[in-house]
Amino acid sequence: MKNLKLKAARAGKDLSQDDLAKAAGVSRQTISAIEKGDYNPTINLCISICKILGTTLDELFWPEE
């Protein structure tokens, strides 16, 4: 499932995939794969991304009901 919430939060902070990847210590391809729904990140990576974007796990990674 695509993670459009992550993409929107990243864009809202005016960060490119590369910017977010560098801040999180992963490759741009990893961020792209998460946004496309092709990669399920570890909880540690999820937490790191949330801290960088100033949001919560629920807001970015919890599926809509």
- Predicted TM-score of the model (pTM): 0.91
Mark out the alpha helices in 1-65 (DSSP H runs).
4-12, 17-24, 28-36, 43-53, 57-61
> Domains in the chain, ordered, with CATH?
4-61 (1.10.260.40)
CB 41 within 8 A of CB 9: no
Instruction: Give pLDDT tens digits along the chain (65 positions).
Output: 789 999 999 999 999 999 999 999 999 999 999 999 999 999 999 999 999 999 999 999 988 76
